[in-house]
Chain A
């Protein structure tokens, strides 16, 4: 495999992790945020600083980036998740821009608008592969448990979710923090792959890109998010297109999808309660055998 091909796969992996976070937040909880690039930036810069200044080992640097992103998202979430959809959106957008502006301003620490070079190149193909597998596994387990189910309940009918005892504020915050941690993870890996980061890499375009990717893959489908990330990362490369065409493609694609096939590539599919159905079959079989409609 050539370095170029390896690079593509690493980029796909890094994007998948960030997209998974947004998928949980937007696809499964229906909370729209335009600030997740800001959390990627936090993950990137914190991990880079830990690697460069504190000479921290790779895993520690990544975890540090994730932790800080998570902590800040928890604070932001507490302040803003009570706001209505459009207002929350603007607040997260504002947050993303503030992070970028702040990192540009804190020149002595972050290198300002010129960026921070010299980050150790520790994101190898094996590292990304392990990360992606872990990220998907954790996301899957998270969603196929009462945590994921509660998020979907909140997505469907917030009032009914409360009526069955779900603390919607708590779970929305949880989804937001999870998405931020994933974004931080992605950012940290990105920093140690590119070895150079600058604030304008984590701008509004990037946040929009993450949401668009989830929409195209299908709101409410992890497989959809993974597939669309792969497609949207690979396609422009395959078509030998410059980055401008890539964004143009994104724009047209999302408009097409949302008007013609809003369910995206996968729609609600993939989340199936297959074990529940199997249990149902066994139940029916038992009833048939017992011959009556008696309860256990």
Chain B
């Protein structure tokens, strides 16, 4: 079964064409990384799959249904943590339980607490359960958001730059947890990232996007120098090349 299928997907955000003629198929159980420069339409693609944005043209199917018809329990979403309102009065347990209830719980039920604590244990964050979300570090918060998305046992996990601002150790732990979950559940993972190394190490296929699909395939093919040059442009590519210590080799 296809987890995600898009055909000639086009969407405008204001006057900007965010995605243009995007056609792709992602099989259930695949780990796909989406790369591209800032403003390339990566997060927009995730929002279309979540049913938050409607395409202007083309077709999008998630588990062979229109995105807005997909039961929300089937999709786990980890947003960029920079969008979080840290001033909101909430403890970690409450945030994780929103993944189960799809609402803010006035009283925490024992069954929900149990599930939330089990998932926090899975991501190594059970000690944070009673902490205020405003007091968490970026790495801690990202684990909590991962727990929130996993608590409903989703079939598709959408991650939007999940490890931005997290140290190397925290990043490695994050992918270890995610890999463990995928191994057990065979869930499909779509991850927006700026990190080519992470994409080539963890993903089975990489989509290089810049409003349209530049390349889509195994990391060694999709991250070819020509593909990245097309996506990022030459000067930017050279800078990144230096920063990352070279492009992946086929």
Q: Do A and B come from one complex?
A: no
